[in-house]
Amino acid sequence: MIDKNWQAIAPDPDWVRQEVARLNEAVDEFASAMKAKLAQKAHEGWTGWDKPESGIKIWNAMLAQGAAVPLAKGQEVDIANLAMMLWRTNGRME
């Protein structure tokens, strides 16, 4: 996802399967961390993420947390959760 094969050479199917498996594993692990953080915030009383009027607050919070890259280290799960909230409330745009 970072480096592109610009030579238009078809990748080895075994390599593709391995790459997809590694990506799926990473997504599953990250999703578990996201869910744990969301549950923690729900227990703390945080709510309102699914209200359309909350979109600008969520957007601003996501930008603020991710704006200073060195300072965002350790906040990847929070940023991803905010992005998920926007994705969900904006109609799951692709």
- pLDDT digit string (tens) for 31-83? 999 999 999 999 999 999 999 889 999 999 888 887 766 667 888 999 999 99
Q: Model's pTM, two decimal places?
A: 0.80
What secondary structure letter does DSSP report for 82? Answer: H
Q: At CA 39, angle to CA 67 and CA 91, rounded to 5?
A: 65
pLDDT of residue 67: 76
Asked, for residue 5, whether it belongs to a domain, the answer is no
- Print the domain residue range for 35: 13-89
Asked, for residue 2, whether it belongs to a domain, the answer is no
Instruction: Go through 74-83 and write b for each residue having 16 or more CB atoms within 10 A of its CB, e for each that does not.
Output: ebebbbbbbe
Q: How far is CA 16 from the centre of its chain?
A: 22
Residue 16 clears pLDDT 80, i.e. is over it: yes
* Structural domains in the chain (count): 1
Residue, of 8 and 1, whose pLDDT is higher: 8
Backbone angles phi, psi at 58, to 5 degrees: -65, -45
Q: What is the residue whose two structure tokens read 């923690």?
A: 40
pLDDT of residue 19: 94
